[in-house]
Every structure is written in structure tokens, then in C-alpha cells.
């Protein structure tokens, strides 16, 4: 039969019992009261609901079932009612739980919208500050100090903030500013997870924001060159930490600890970094934190987007290949706080649905939220599934975006540039 996979098979509703994992077929999402069309039966009431929907058969998914179907059909005394065109097959109160869940989903979408707005405003501020300070307008340092204080407070004041992967349509800004804001957010996420103080978080934000300001003194044709750089060009690029210190040291208000980040952000624990080839003990803690965030962003947002790693691939690579390059303890903390499947990862669930991780509760990184591909639901109303609440669903694998079909790719819209931000106004559902 069409639609069946592997060991799946059709069974009568009368053979269902709690623990059997099923997929509905031929029932539009808006006509049934369940959150998705694939789920594990929790109780006999759900079976009676299926009968009330006039569903005679469903697809059984043995590999995800906790119990086999009944050998002998279980009859019900419930009466089947005639459903008029356009009428819900069940009384309205059957849909109350689904409506509550939809309200939660709407709040999650509103949270993403708030994060996009804040990110866009922050991006504009960083662009203005970096342009002004690189041109010698040192009085903007005070504005930068206030901005970094405000940004770091997002992470210090709200332990339940939600980290989102954003889909930004405006590519008019230089990638330098996207990168600066992205690594600032990632650095602060790691900084908070390892218990930095308010002052350390503030200095981390300052150093992260301006780590690449020295590139303003390098020709753009070198910065944006496609392909391999010559040795001479590499030497020019490697001077940008020094240029950055030159620019920022003109103002005595720029914190020394933040200046270390600007100068050391390309140093490596194995002594193979630049500009001074410092060993691990000579690199500041804040610089080590930033190096991890910077390394990660460099993998997921390469100049050539077709060569970018997926977030999952990036963390796997860093874990397996970079233990001597990056601080091991801090790297472990970063992987933990980003979650096994960080925002932007394409995943397959145990019900065979495909989704993209769109946010992680920083207090519960192992239970992300994802937007699901479901051709029955319009893209604008796409379902966001919170794995922290819907515990019957599990991620079983991740896949590269390139392996998605055209229909799924266009529906989920994987990001060519992955940008992260938080919504400190989010309220975690307990």
C-alpha cells in the first residue's frame, strides 16, 4: 500500500491499545484533535477519539511502539455519528488541548519575531559603532560599553532565555557585522554556562564585538577574496589583531581584558595560532571562551556557504579534531550548552517526520524545539514541536540540508547564514 515504509502495516482501530505508535492516513491535520498525525497511543480515550472520527484503519509503526497491537479486536459501544460537511467530527471540547498547544506555538513564533527584531537593532548598532570607532571617533566607546552591558545582561538576568536560529532576509550588511554579533552571542552563552561574573561577561561582550575591528585597515579585495590566499596575503590578514589593538588602545576606557580578546582571538592552545603563537597557559580565559565561539561560527558560516558545516557537524568536528587546539574543558561546556542538536540542525524524528531545530532553552539544551515539515499544514502555519513537552517524539538522526528533497527544503528554508540570538522575554513552560 502507498505510504507504508519498512515494517509498517495497516491495522484496524479496534486492535489498538496504549503503547502502539501509529500514523494517520487520509485525515487532515485540522480535522483531528491530536498535535501531529503520528503519535504513540497514550490511553483508550484516544482510541475512542479515533473511532469518533470514523477512522477504521491506521498505520502501525512497530519500531516505535512500546506494545504490539491486540491479537483480538476490542469492540466499542460508542456510536458513530454522521458528520455534516464543514463540521468538526468531534465536540469542540475535544479540540481544547490542541488549541492550548497552538497558543503555545504562537507564543514561540512571537518569541522568534522578538528575537529577530532585537537582533536587527543590535546588528545596526554594532555596524554603526564599529564604523565610527574605526574612523577614530573614540567618543563612541562609551556607547559601545553601554551596548555590551545591555547585551550581556540578557544572559545574566534570565536563566530561561531561549536561543533561536534566525532567518534574516536582509543581506545588505557586511558579513563582518553579522559575524561580530553572532560570536558575541555565542561567547556570552558559553560565558554564562561556565559562571562568569557580571564584569567578565561585560568584558567578554566588548572584546567579542570588536575582535575584528582591525580588518577595517585591510583592503576588502583581500578580505573577500574567493579561493586560497597567497602567503603575502595571509601575513596581511594575520596583522588584524595588532591593528585592532592600535585602534582601540587610543581610548583608555576600553577594558584591558577585552583588549586581550582582540589580540589573542586567533591564538591556539597548541601554540600554532597567531600573532604570538601563545601556549594555553598564556592565553586569557575570556580569550579561550571567545576562540571556541569564533571557531564554531567559522565552520557554520564560511564565505562559501556551500562549504559550511551544519551545526551538528561543526560540534562533532570540534569535539573529535580540536581537543588540543581549543580548551578541552570549555569546549565540553560549549557542546553541552548548545545541545546535541544545536539550532539550524535538520533532524529526523522517530515518526519519520523531518524538522529543523529552531530554538534551544538554554536551561534545557537537550530538549530543543523544531519546525516540522508537514505538507498538510501551510508553511506559514508550520508546526513547532517542543520536545521538552512532547516526550513521545525523539530525534533519531540528523541529515545535511543538501539531502532534502526540493519540497522539504523550500518548506523548512534552511539558512545559508546561521545567526543566533536570544529572547529574554521568553517564559519557559514548566
* Of the listed ranges 122-126, 181-185, 400-404, 426-430, the one predicted with least confidence: 426-430
Looking at residue 427, its pLDDT comes to: 41
Question: b or e along 376-413 (b: 16 or more beta carbons within 10 Å of the residue's beta carbon)?
Answer: ebeeeebbbbbbbebebbebeebeebeebeeebbebbe
Is residue 186 included in any domain, yes or no? yes
Query: For residue range 372-384, what is the model confidence (pLDDT) as tens digits?
Result: 998 878 887 788 8
Distance (Å, whole) CA 120 – CA 154: 16
Nine cell digits for residue 202: 561585560
Of the two residues 68 and 6, the one the predictor is more confident about is 68
Q: For position 287, which CATH number holds?
A: 1.10.3210.10
- Judged against a pLDDT cut of 90, whether residue 3 lies above it is answered with no
Is residue 217 included in any domain, yes or no? yes
Work out the average pLDDT over 52-59: 89
Residues 80 and 31 occupy one common structural domain = yes
Query: For residue range 106-150, what is the model confidence (pLDDT) as tens digits?
Result: 787 787 778 888 888 888 899 899 889 888 887 788 899 999 888
Residues 92 and 114 occupy one common structural domain = no
- The per-residue pLDDT of the chain, averaged, comes to 85
Radius of gyration of the chain, Cα coordinates, nearest whole angstrom = 26
Give the residue from 77, 98, 119 where a domain finishes. Answer: 98
**Contact predicate 59/23, CB 8 Å:** yes
Distance (Å, whole) CA 352 – CA 5: 10
**Contact predicate 47/17, CB 8 Å:** yes
Residues 13 and 157 occupy one common structural domain = no
Distance (Å, whole) CA 80 – CA 361: 43
The DSSP secondary structure of 221-265, one letter per residue, reads HHHT--SPPPHHHHHHHTTHHHHHHHHHTTSTTS-HHHHHHHHHT
**Contact predicate 364/388, CB 8 Å:** yes
Looking at residue 173, its pLDDT comes to: 52
Of the two residues 293 and 33, the one the predictor is more confident about is 293
Looking at residue 236, its pLDDT comes to: 95
Is residue 120 included in any domain, yes or no? yes
Query: For residue range 182-202, what is the model confidence (pLDDT) as tens digits?
Result: 999 999 999 999 999 999 999
**Contact predicate 301/308, CB 8 Å:** yes
Residues 122 and 253 occupy one common structural domain = yes
Is residue 216 included in any domain, yes or no? yes
Look at the block and give the residue holding cell 556607547: 143
Work out the average pLDDT over 160-175: 63
- Judged against a pLDDT cut of 60, whether residue 172 lies above it is answered with no
Is residue 283 included in any domain, yes or no? yes
Query: For residue range 89-112, what is the model confidence (pLDDT) as tens digits?
Result: 666 676 777 777 778 777 877 877
**Which domain covers residue 165, as residue numbers?**
110-339
Chain-centroid distance of CA 373 in Å reads: 16
Give the residue from 339, 357, 387 where a domain finishes. Answer: 339
Helix and strand tally (H, E) in the chain? 13, 11
Looking at residue 29, its pLDDT comes to: 78
Query: For residue range 237-252, what is the model confidence (pLDDT) as tens digits?
Result: 999 999 999 999 988 8
* φ and ψ at residue 248, rounded to 5 degrees: -80, -25
Looking at residue 428, its pLDDT comes to: 42
Query: For residue range 289-317, what is the model confidence (pLDDT) as tens digits?
Result: 999 999 999 999 988 777 888 898 999 99
Residues 116 and 239 occupy one common structural domain = yes
Distance (Å, whole) CA 15 – CA 295: 54
As for how many domains the chain has, the answer is: 2
Give the residue from 51, 74, 98 where a domain finishes. Answer: 98
Residues 51 and 89 occupy one common structural domain = yes
Looking at residue 430, its pLDDT comes to: 34
What's the pLDDT band for 278 if we cut at 50, 70, 90?
A: very high
262: nearest Cα among 121, 134, 123: 134
Q: Indicate the angle between helix axes 96-134 and 198-209, nearest 10 degrees.
A: 70
Looking at residue 429, its pLDDT comes to: 39
Query: For residue range 200-236, what is the model confidence (pLDDT) as tens digits?
Result: 999 999 999 999 999 999 998 998 888 889 999 999 9
Looking at residue 306, its pLDDT comes to: 79
Amino acid at each position: 500500500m502507498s505510504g507504508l515504509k519498512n515494517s509498517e502495516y495497516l491495522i484496524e482501530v479496534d486492535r489498538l491499545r496504549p503503547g502502539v505508535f501509529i500514523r494517520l492516513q487520509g485525515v487532515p491535520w485540522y480535522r483531528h484533535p491530536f498535535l501531529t498525525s503520528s503519535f504513540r497511543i497514550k490511553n483508550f480515550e484516544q482510541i475512542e477519539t479515533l473511532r469518533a472520527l470514523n477512522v477504521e484503519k491506521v498505520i502501525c509503526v512497530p519500531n516505535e511502539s512500546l506494545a504490539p497491537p491486540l491479537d483480538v479486536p476490542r469492540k466499542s459501544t460508542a456510536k458513530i455519528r454522521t458528520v455534516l460537511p464543514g463540521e468538526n467530527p468531534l465536540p469542540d471540547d475535544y479540540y481544547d488541548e490542541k488549541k492550548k498547544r497552538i497558543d503555545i506555538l504562537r507564543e514561540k513564533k512571537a518569541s522568534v519575531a522578538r528575537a529577530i527584531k532585537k537582533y536587527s537593532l543590535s546588528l545596526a548598532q554594532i555596524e554603526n559603532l564599529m564604523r565610527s570607532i574605526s574612523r577614530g571617533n573614540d567618543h563612541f566607546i562609551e556607547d559601545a560599553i553601554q551596548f555590551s552591558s545591555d547585551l550581556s545582561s540578557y544572559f545574566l538576568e534570565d536563566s530561561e532565555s531561549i536561543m533561536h536560529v534566525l532567518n534574516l532576509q536582509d543581506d545588505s550588511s557586511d558579513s563582518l557585522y553579522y559575524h561580530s554579533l553572532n560570536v558575541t552571542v555565542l561567547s556570552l552563552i558559553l560565558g554564562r554556562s561556565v559562571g562568569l561574573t557580571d564584569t567578565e561577561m561585560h568584558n567578554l561582550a566588548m572584546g567579542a564585538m570588536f575582535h575584528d575591528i582591525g580588518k577595517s585597515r585591510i583592503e576588502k579585495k583581500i578580505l573577500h577574496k574567493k579561493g586560497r590566499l597567497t602567503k603575502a596575503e595571509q601575513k596581511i590578514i594575520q596583522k588584524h589583531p595588532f591593528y585592532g589593538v592600535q585602534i582601540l588602545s587610543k581610548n583608555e576606557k576600553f577594558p584591558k581584558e577585552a583588549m586581550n580578546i582582540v589580540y589573542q582571538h586567533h591564538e591556539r592552545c597548541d601554540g600554532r595560532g597567531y600573532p604570538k603563537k601563545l601556549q594555553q597557559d598564556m592565553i586569557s580565559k575570556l580569550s579561550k571562551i571567545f576562540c571556541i565561539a569564533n571557531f564554531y561560527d567559522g565552520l557554520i558560516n564560511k564565505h562559501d556557504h556551500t562549504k559550511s558545516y551544519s551545526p551538528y557537524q561543526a560540534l562533532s568536528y570540534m569535539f573529535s579534531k580540536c581537543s588540543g587546539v581549543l580548551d578541552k574543558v570549555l569546549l565540553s561546556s560549549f557542546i553541552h550548552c548548545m545541545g546535541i542538536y544545536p539550532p539550524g540542525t535538520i533532524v529526523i524524528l522517530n515518526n519519520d517526520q523531518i524538522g529543523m531545530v529552531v530554538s534551544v532553552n538554554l536551561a534545557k539544551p537537550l530538549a530543543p524545539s523544531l519546525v516540522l515539515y508537514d505538507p498538510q499544514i501551510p508553511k506559514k502555519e508550520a508546526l513547532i514541536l517542543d520536545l521538552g513537552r512532547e516526550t513521545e517524539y525523539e530525534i533519531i538522526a540528523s541529515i545535511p540540508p543538501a539531502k532534502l528533497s526540493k519540497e522539504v527544503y523550500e518548506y523548512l528554508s534552511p539558512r545559508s547564514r546561521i545567526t543566533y540570538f536570544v529572547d529574554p522575554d521568553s517564559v519557559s513552560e514548566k
